[in-house]
Amino acid sequence: MTSTIRCRPEAVPRRSLGVRVRRVKGDFLIGVEDKALLLSGPAQLIYSSLDGARTVSEVSQLIAEEYGVGEEEALGDVREFLDDLAGRGLVEWVVRLPNPTSAP
């Protein structure tokens, strides 16, 4: 898969506003405009974990634990999947502002 977007492990993804989500026989059917995507298994877990608080690394740890795969493999798969979703407009990235520090 070729993608111009590449998420970092510390990036924080969230589901894009305006995306319709329906549960169909236990799976998620997500869509924007006239396009839809059916998510099941790991894809469904990844998408449901995108709460705007968890990092890509934290989501990949959930996948590694749930499916018994190595963390590096899970991280690669999660990053690739999120790149695809972001390219489709289904995921966006949370911009975290730096925490203000106290004056010395």
Can you tell me the distance from the alpha carbon of 104 to that of 101, in angstroms, rounded to the nearest whole number? 9
Give the strand pairing for 35-39 and 27-32.
antiparallel
H or E stretch covering 13: strand 12-15
20 in a domain, yes or no?
A: yes
- Is residue 103, in this structure, part of any structural domain at all? no
Count, residues in the chain: 104
CATH number at residue 42: 1.10.10.1150
Total domains, the chain: 1
Digit-coded pLDDT (tens) for 57-83: 999 999 999 999 999 999 999 999 999
- The model carries a pTM of 0.82
Residue 48 falls inside a structural domain? yes
Q: Is residue 7 part of a domain?
A: no
With respect to residue 5, please indicate whether it lies within any of the assigned structural domains: no
Quote the distance between the C-alpha of residue 46 and its chain's center: 6
Residue 96 lies in a domain: no
pLDDT band at 4 (very low <50, low <70, confident <90, very high): very low
Q: How confident is the model over 5-34, as pLDDT tens digits?
A: 458 999 999 999 989 999 999 899 998 888
In a domain, 95, yes or no: no
| pLDDT number for residue 103 | 52
Phi first, then psi: give them for residue 78, nearest 5 degrees. Answer: -65, -45
